[in-house]
Amino acid sequence: MNIVVLDAATLAGVDLSPLHAFGTVTTYEYTQPSEVDSRIQQANIIISNKVQLNATHFAIAPALKLICVAATGTNNIDLVAAKDAGIAVTNVAGYSTPSVVQHTFTLLGNLMSNIHRYAADTKQGAWQNSKMFCRLDYSINDIAGKNFVIVGYGNLGQATAKVAEAFGAKVIIAERPNSKATRSGRVTFEEAMQIADIVSIHCPLTPQTENLFNAQTLALLPKHAILINTARGGIVNEQALADALAANQIAAAGVDVLSIEPATTDNPLITYQGDNLMLTPHTAWASHESITRLIQGIADNITSFLDGGQHNRVV
């Protein structure tokens, strides 16, 4: 097999040796749209995290048999065109769950204990000049006893719930917004927002969840609430969140994803200067262990495909 990796930089230098068992592996750290055609013409297998592939590309790659998406989401691939061209497409799910859960609570712990502010002050000499043994300039709060609302109760939401319970929080599962029925063990979306101390988002970005957290939704939250988004940027209206943070309408937010990535300089959350926002550059998924699992998952998908199997087949 002639295997082409189009955006190897997204794999953070993790060992790709599991892929070499299948043939020749050519890696490109980054691939611009204008470079795709020349790089895939001889490929039997393409591995892509975010590089977009469509019918035009498939037409100039007659030997292409399989596209392995190095992620769970497959929105960068024209799946209908791939099916029409007889090209199989696979993804990998669940590989990043431990990393995302860890990042969720890292953001939350920093915000609830104001660790980022205390650490910054210490670097500036505040502790060294303290009149007592500690500093108590900013609020410090427990996760224990808080209403921990989860929006999106798939694998990630369930894994997050277990850790929240281990911290002693009361887990509340929000029903889908505008749902006509409330499933057992859940509360309506509006009620969940109104009683939330912490909201952690783990749902996919769909037409139903786009801008789910807007000015109206954020207004439902108590002023002491903290919002964590490690899911997808488009779920939260960024201007509305920046406005809510600036007005202290909610206490704080931890955000790992934006609607346009890489971030633009004029994004409201990029330009926001308040200490009640922690913004990380879409790294929740990217632990060394997660990427190692991802690469092995891709190798397993290739093995299954070559054996005539359907493992993780999307098309």
Catalytic residue ranges: 232, 261, 282
How far is C-alpha 197 from the chain's CA centre? 22
- Rounded Cα distance between 225 and 101, Å, is 19
- Rounded Cα distance between 137 and 275, Å, is 13
Residue 119 structure tokens: 């650490």
Nearest to 276 by CA among 136, 116, 103: 116
- Helices 288-306, 97-113: axis angle to 10 degrees equals 160
Tell me the three-class secondary structure of the chain, residue by residue: CEEEECCHHHHCCCCCHHHHCCCEEEECCCCCHHHHHHHHCCCCEEEECCCCECHHHHHCCCCCCEEEECCCCCCCECHHHHHHCCCEEECCCCCCHHHHHHHHHHHHHHHHHCHHHHHHHHHCCCCCCCCCCCCCCCCCCCCCCCEEEEECCCHHHHHHHHHHHHCCCEEEEECCCCCCCCCCCEECHHHHHHHCCEEEECCCCCCCCCCCECHHHHHHCCCCCEEEECCCHHHECHHHHHHHHHCCCCCEEEECCCCCCCCCCCCHHHHCCCCCEEECCCCCCCCHHHHHHHHHHHHHHHHHHHCCCCCCECC
Nearest to 79 by CA among 69, 94, 71: 69
